[in-house]
Amino acid sequence: MTEVKTSTHSGTTPAQKPSDNELIARYLREQNPEYFTTLYRRYAGKVFAKCISMLGDEALARDAVQDIFIKVFLNLSRFSEQSSFSTWLYSITYNFCIDLIRKKKKISVILSEDVGRIGDEPEVDVPDSVLLEMKHDRLEKVLARMQEGDRIILLMKYMDDMSIKDIADFFQKTESAIKMQIMRAKMKAQTIYDELYASDPIES
Amino acid sequence: MRESNNSFKDLEALWEAGLPPELETRVASQATNLAVFGRVVELFMPDALQTVVRMIGGNPDAPVGGPVSGRRPAPEEWPDWRTPPGGKPGLGR
């Protein structure tokens, strides 16, 4: 399929890329799936990365991307523009993957109910740099060994740069509970890293 | 791959690059089919969805097919099996 372009006055002027909201408005007006395909090209990679990171399986992630985009396609008329399209899309992605994990693992909640319990705070707050400066192949192995809730919360914070408030809103928890959960998740990541690479702690 | 100072972003870029290109064709064809199906439904059953919504639990005063056309019968044209106010017989047979 060809990329949808905006009309220009002269043929030589490079076409300006339409915004996400413009593409959605045009799709709803003209019902031309080309506009939707353009949105797919913009975001499919990010959605695929999120699905792999959460589901930990490439085949599952491929199917999830397809299902998520069809879900988005069917609900485009409900997109309210109160948030950006990417925020809406990522929220659908997170919810879809979390539902899939719940069904697969037969668990009802991703974050345990005792998140934020007083007196259970980690003693040490692992600096962000420990995770951010880890080699990506090692980080991938560490994340793969973490529990889903811990992994997702770290991805939201460090991969998607979501604010504590947005994460708290998503999980319907308090901000302090989310901060504590992130601290615990970082500590667990550090522990797993130490177990995996005790013999080779210095990254080369 | 260009290394950043955030290994999460590096990992994301690596995963993004692994997106299978054939997925676009699958999603695009599904979207096209759904759009065509929607148009066909709309052509043969205009306002199909709204009709179903009204039939299931919509406003009972609103007729499903829209407002009924034509004039309402005048009181003197009431059928004879109905007793008008005052108890006088109707104008029917």
Specify whether the CB–CB gap between A114 and A120 falls below 8 A: yes
A45/B19 CB distance under 8 A: yes
Please give the single-letter amino acid code of residue A58: E
**Min Cα–Cα distance to chain B from A178, Å:** 19
CATH number of A20-105: 1.10.1740.10
For A120-171, list the strands marked E by DSSP: none
Class of domain A129-197: mainly alpha
Between A203 and B84, residue with greater pLDDT: B84
**Rounded mean pLDDT, A145-166:** 91
Task: Give the residue from chain B lying closest to A30, CA to CA.
Answer: B35
Which H or E element spans position A181?
Answer: helix A175-196
Predicted model pTM: 0.71
Structure tokens at A26: 């045009």
Residues of A in contact with B27 (CB under 8 A): 37, 40, 44, 65-66, 69-70
Between A145 and B71, residue with greater pLDDT: A145
Residue A15: is its pLDDT beyond 70? no
B28/A65 CB distance under 8 A: no
The pLDDT-based confidence of B78 (bands split at 50, 70, 90) is: low
Residue A114: is its pLDDT beyond 60? no
> Which pLDDT score, from 0 to 100, does residue A7 have?
42
> Which pLDDT score, from 0 to 100, does residue A118 have?
54
B20/A62 CB distance under 8 A: yes
> Which pLDDT score, from 0 to 100, does residue B93 have?
47
Q: Does A194 touch chain B (CB under 8 A)?
A: no
- Domain ranges within chain A, ordered by starting residue: 20-105, 129-197
Q: If we measure between CA atoms, which residue out of A107, A84, A66 comes closest to residue A24? A: A84
Residue A120: is its pLDDT beyond 70? no
B16/A45 CB distance under 8 A: yes
Residues of B in contact with A135 (CB under 8 A): 7
Mean pLDDT of chain A: 83
Q: Which residues of B touch A (CB under 8 A)?
A: 5-20, 23-24, 26-28, 30-32, 34-35, 38-39
DSSP chain B: ----S-HHHHHHHHHHHT--THHHHHHHHHHHHHHHHHHHHHHHSTTHHHHHHHHHHS-TTS-TTSSPPSPPPPGGG--TTSPPTTS---S--
pLDDT per residue as tens digits for the range B1-47: 556 689 999 999 999 999 999 999 999 888 888 877 777 766 676 66
* Residue A151: CA count within 13 A, CB half-sphere: 23
> Which pLDDT score, from 0 to 100, does residue A148 have?
87
Task: Give the residue from chain B lying closest to A160, CA to CA.
Answer: B9
Residue A204: is its pLDDT beyond 50? no
Residue A11: is its pLDDT beyond 50? no
> Which pLDDT score, from 0 to 100, does residue A78 have?
84
pLDDT per residue as tens digits for the range B47-76: 666 666 666 665 545 555 555 566 665 666
Between B49 and A5, residue with greater pLDDT: B49
The pLDDT-based confidence of A66 (bands split at 50, 70, 90) is: very high
